[in-house]
Amino acid sequence: MSIDVGERLRFVRARNKISQRELAKRSGVTNSTISLIESNHMNPSVGALKRILDGIPMGMAEFFALEPDRPRKAFYRSATPGAFRWFTTAKKAASFSRAGWK
């Protein structure tokens, strides 16, 4: 089982309505570090992750116990015969009509 720390951090930060810059300021790391972690270009050390989570505030156990919301995939038939489209969010699916994109 693989844990996506970046996706989980982005989920927690967004749920708490904190920008990357604000979290960086609160935790004493650079905003580029937060960005790199969230995009999975960098894995934080345990100490760095603890400092970041202290800026939310949230403990390590709570952080790893959370399950980020996964976007639901919806399958729709396109107006073009034989063509299909995938939508990952309800917002995108809602803007699609039988005649095509609104």
Residue boundaries of the structural domains of the chain:
5-65, 71-102
Predicted local distance difference test score (pLDDT) of residue 72: 57
| Tens-place pLDDT, residues 51-67 | 999 999 999 999 998 87
Residue 89 · residue 73 · CB < 8 Å: no
The CATH class of 5-65 is mainly alpha
| Tens-place pLDDT, residues 15-45 | 999 999 999 999 999 999 999 999 999 999 9
Report pTM: 0.65
For 27, residues 6+ apart whose C-beta sits below 8 A from its C-beta are: 51, 52, 53, 54, 55
Query: Residue 75 and residue 47: Cα distance in Å, rounded?
Result: 42
